[in-house]
Amino acid sequence: MKPCLPSHWNFIHNISHGVVARIVVAWDTSCFTITPVLVDAQCIACKVQQPQSPTCFYISVVYGFNRASNRRSLWSELRTLYGSIGNDAWLMLGDFNSVRTQAERVGSGSFDGLSTLDFNSCLEAIDMEDLASKGSWFTWSNRRGGMGFIKSRIDRALVNSKWQDQFPESEAVFQPPVHGNPMDVLSQKIRKLKSLLKDFNKEFYSDIHKRVALAHDELSILQTQCLALPYDVTLHESEKDALLKYTDLVAAEEDFNHQKSRVKWLALGDQNSKFFHKKVKSHVVRSKILSICDENGIRLDEPVAVKAEILGFYKKLLGEKFALKKDTAGVLNSLITSKVPEDMRVGLIQAVSDDEIKKCSILYRW
């Protein structure tokens, strides 16, 4: 996942607690400092602090197990966590796989009141309430028709009183769920992601070549000034920041060029076009062996010598060409114990007669 993120982003996951990473938390390191305080199979809790800001808060990302009995360990972990961070602003969000009231579940199947009681008891113990929200009320459905349809509110954002005091204007937004067959779901999600990717591209890759050139010029000027004023601490710090900025932009430019080349290849690479033949020719040129070192370390660059060295190497490795014996047919005949009788052999190789053709036609007709 790291190569897919900008160089100043980081992430944590809980793959060490299962076969796959059920929760992944990613953040921009230039905006936040994240310190994990709990990494569990059902929860990742982090301390969040903004640069040059004395205030901090905590965020817990939850993905509860499907079985109510397995979720009890989550409720226990949250109670323990409350003892260490409950006096600070705390936001808890995710898929809890449990509802708080019977009204949050509609459809067939029995209502699990015991699971709801466990959930509400935990929230009461850790002083958590639902954050103001808008958007879809029900966040999950089984997408079945008829009497088997079920929908429920299992995704939510919860906060404590300290959070409400520190961030009184905060709210949660629940986007409408995506329905349909798997291809439709994927298509709709990609369509919704398009605007976000446009903003992401504009922020990190817009006019990237010009930004790299400007960053290089800025770095060159600062390095020249550092040589003239070697004891200026502030100048050296600025040069260090400019170097990091230039390095990030160069990495972004490299990613941009790599993706652009892939897009061009997808558009033109599988056609009998000038672009395709140019790529093939370039690959052939890159794959040529123009020189080689022999077993004594001497470099050979003459085509005849290179060819002779390669042939000699594989002759030593695989041996000389195997020479067949003159009586090879006799050896093979001696190995075959079961043979077709002579009269049958003659019958198999003789020409097909007209009578045989007529007999086959009659049999086929019947």
pLDDT in tens, 200-214: 777 767 778 888 889
Q: Residue 160 and residue 127: Cα distance in Å, rounded?
A: 6
What is the mean predicted confidence (pLDDT) over 12-34?
Answer: 90
Q: Residue 25 and residue 45: Cα distance in Å, rounded?
A: 10
Least confident of 60-69, 156-165, 304-313, 314-323: 314-323
From residue 179, alpha-carbon distances to 90, 143, 210, 273 in Å are 32, 7, 43, 41
Q: Which CATH class is domain 2-177?
A: alpha beta
What is the chain's Cα-based Rg?
36
Q: Residue 237 and residue 245: Cα distance in Å, rounded?
A: 12
Phi, psi at residue 80, to the nearest 5°? -65, -40
- At residue 120, the pLDDT reads 94
Binned at pLDDT 50, 70 and 90, residue 122 comes out as very high
- At residue 366, the pLDDT reads 47
132 CB-near residues (< 8 Å, 6+ apart):
170, 171, 172
- pTM of the full structure: 0.53
Report pLDDT digits (tens) over 325-342. Answer: 566 777 777 777 778 888
Q: How many CA atoms lie within 13 A of 301 on its CB side?
A: 1
Binned at pLDDT 50, 70 and 90, residue 3 comes out as low
Q: Determine the distance from the C-alpha atom of residue 35 to the mean position of all C-alpha atoms in its chain, rounded to a whole number.
A: 23
Instruction: State the burial class of residue 346 (Cβ atoms within 10 Å of its Cβ: 0-12, 13-18, 19+).
Output: exposed
Residue owning tokens 């056609």: 271
Per-domain residue ranges of the chain: 2-177, 203-272, 328-365
From residue 307, alpha-carbon distances to 65, 274, 304, 312 in Å are 64, 32, 5, 9
- At residue 355, the pLDDT reads 84
Binned at pLDDT 50, 70 and 90, residue 53 comes out as confident
- At residue 74, the pLDDT reads 95
Helix (H, G, I), strand (E, B) or coil at 33: strand
